[in-house]
Amino acid sequence: MPLIQPRTPPGTLELLPREQMVFQHMLDVIRRGFERFGFVPVETPVFELKDVLLTKSGGETEKQVYFVQSTGAIQQGHDAELALRFDLTVPLARYVAEHEHQLAFPFRRYQIQRVYRGERAQKGRFREFYQCDIDVIGKDKLDPAYDAELPAIIVRIFEELKVGNFTIHFSNRKVLLGLLAGFGVEDAEKQKLILREIDKFDKIGADKVKAALVELGLNADAAQSLLHLITHSGSKDEVLAALRTQKSEHPVFRQGLGETAQMIDALKALGVPENRTRLNLKIARGLDYYTGTVYETLIDDHPEFGSVCSGGRYDDLASYYTKSKLPGVGLSIGLTRLFDQLRTSKLLPLVPNTVQILIAQLDPQLSSSYLALAAELRHAGFNVENYLEPAKLEKQLKYADKSGIPFVVLLGPDEKAKGIVRVKDLAAKEQSEVTPAGLIEKLRTLIPI
């Protein structure tokens, strides 16, 4: 029988165990951060019913959807009834609408699962990737105070992830929309187009944005004044002060200004370090879905990563499924892409091996002692592997080295006779002798648990 070439589908990220431990560590840090702020876990099925998932007809998104069909259904000529989720927002909307009466509002959920998109295969594009989402959903209303809480969580998480300095850039779409209305651009479609141009600022530069704004109906003075505002490089308070000098009395602008001011105050009260967040009016987010605060997160030394955590405020989560009005605010970390970028840039955090100790097998006659010793060390809280294959010590040490296990415990007939145990520190290339009674204490000095 010819062999089948073992290989993963394109656009998926599969890791070797040592890297998987790093990924798992990052997932753990993110989850712990979400839980520390009182968010509750939700998991949804990987697939949804097609008519539930694809509420909006057509569009680029639908082309990227993966449909799912069982062999039986295919044989019977049925169309696919199921489709893989392409984000965690639609499943959240479905979840909240489905379980509305059993949930307490504001509903604060986190969800860390993989999503699927039938992307064209190319470097850095994933067809399967983790999203780590948090959202707060209100019933009928949701206080703007929640908008400050989300970046505070992200600051905590990214500091713990140790991925270098980072900045959460935020803005409030109402500020720009209100200003545009004040400048006479009242048409919602035109406003959206202008916001999209502004969002491209860092890519295409001031001149092109200005030209586009004028073309979209802004007069040259207004365009200039807008560009001046959005390129303000000062502190949050300074940008806010500059906004306050705007003469606009447009209610949307005033509301955006008020929410922004409240958010800045709340960030201070939450103890978020000043330089971790920036009021950056160039952030408009392409998605029309967002109606207030919007966020993007950049790794300072690697702007080429793009935003590693984005989101914003929306007016109504689940209008396709329920008549209840469910405003919310959310943020999402695209972990698979971030991990891949950090790995390529050799910036992955150092994470200890989850296997802490290997007990070598120096003499098969002593098997029972090795098993009993492992049980004792596990009871003391260590993660311990027994090497149970008869093999030369050299081979066992090579195994520990290749696996990245930091410590090897040696107990052979010689050690037994002498009443000692040896602990080999593979990284330090050191070996120490302890009494069996002193082993746990010795290991505690080497391994923090």
Which residues in 393-412 contact its own copies (CB under 8 A)? 399, 402-403, 405
Q: Does 331 help bind its own copies (rule: CB under 8 A)? A: no
Stretch that binds its own copies, among 236-244, 245-253, 313-321, 414-422 (CB under 8 A): 313-321
Stretch that binds its own copies, among 145-153, 169-177, 210-218, 222-230 (CB under 8 A): 145-153
Distance separating alpha carbons of residues 383 and 404, to the nearest angstrom = 13
> Cβ closer to its own copies: 27 or 242?
27
> Cβ closer to its own copies: 98 or 187?
98
Distance separating alpha carbons of residues 262 and 260, to the nearest angstrom = 5
Q: Does 80 help bind its own copies (rule: CB under 8 A)? A: yes
Q: How far is CA 281 from CA 167, 247, 254, in A?
A: 14, 17, 15
Distance separating alpha carbons of residues 94 and 215, to the nearest angstrom = 40
CB of residue 359 vs its own copies: minimum separation in angstroms? Answer: 9
317 touches 299 (CB < 8 A): no
CB of residue 407 vs its own copies: minimum separation in angstroms? Answer: 12
CB of residue 184 vs its own copies: minimum separation in angstroms? Answer: 32
Q: Does 444 help bind its own copies (rule: CB under 8 A)? A: no
Q: Does 63 help bind its own copies (rule: CB under 8 A)? A: yes
| 279: helix, strand or coil | strand
> Cβ closer to its own copies: 90 or 284?
90
> Cβ closer to its own copies: 145 or 242?
145
Candidate list 268, 289, 428, 430; residue touching its own copies; CB under 8 A? 268
Q: Does 240 help bind its own copies (rule: CB under 8 A)? A: no
Distance separating alpha carbons of residues 266 and 201, to the nearest angstrom = 28
Residues 175-214 that bind its own copies (CB under 8 A): none
CB of residue 260 vs its own copies: minimum separation in angstroms? Answer: 16
> Cβ closer to its own copies: 215 or 237?
237
> Cβ closer to its own copies: 60 or 304?
60
Closest-CA residue to 398 (of 421, 374, 422, 426):
426
Candidate list 193, 242, 261, 270; residue touching its own copies; CB under 8 A? 270
CB of residue 90 vs its own copies: minimum separation in angstroms? Answer: 10
179 touches 250 (CB < 8 A): yes
Q: Does 425 help bind its own copies (rule: CB under 8 A)? A: no
> Cβ closer to its own copies: 116 or 253?
116
Q: How far is CA 369 from CA 360, 410, 431, in A?
A: 11, 12, 21
Q: Which residues contact 111 (CB under 8 A, 6 or more apart)?
A: 41, 42, 43, 44, 88, 91, 92, 131, 132, 133
Considering CB under 8 A, how many residues would be counted as binding its own copies? 114
Stretch that binds its own copies, among 239-247, 299-307, 367-375, 439-447 (CB under 8 A): 367-375
Q: Longest C-alpha distance within the chain, in Å?
A: 92
CB of residue 240 vs its own copies: minimum separation in angstroms? Answer: 17
303 touches 278 (CB < 8 A): no
Candidate list 206, 220, 241, 372; residue touching its own copies; CB under 8 A? 372
State the DSSP string of 384-418.
Answer: EEE--S---HHHHHHHHHHHT--EEEE--HHHHHH
Tokens read off for 161 = 């992830």
Q: Does 42 help bind its own copies (rule: CB under 8 A)? A: yes
Closest-CA residue to 435 (of 443, 427, 446):
443
CB of residue 224 vs its own copies: minimum separation in angstroms? Answer: 37
> Cβ closer to its own copies: 230 or 266?
266
Stretch that binds its own copies, among 136-144, 226-234, 280-288, 438-446 (CB under 8 A): 136-144
Task: Outline where DSSP puts E strands in 272-319.
Answer: 277-279, 290-299, 309-314
Tokens read off for 156 = 């905590």
Candidate list 146, 166, 170, 339; residue touching its own copies; CB under 8 A? 146
Q: Does 255 help bind its own copies (rule: CB under 8 A)? A: no
Q: How far is CA 84 from CA 35, 60, 116, 179, 403, in A?
A: 27, 16, 6, 40, 35
Stretch that binds its own copies, among 105-113, 172-180, 277-285, 434-442 (CB under 8 A): 105-113
Could you tell me if residue 11 is left (phi over 0), alpha (psi between -120 and 50 degrees) or otherwise beta?
A: left
Candidate list 288, 363, 385, 433; residue touching its own copies; CB under 8 A? 385
CB of residue 24 vs its own copies: minimum separation in angstroms? Answer: 6
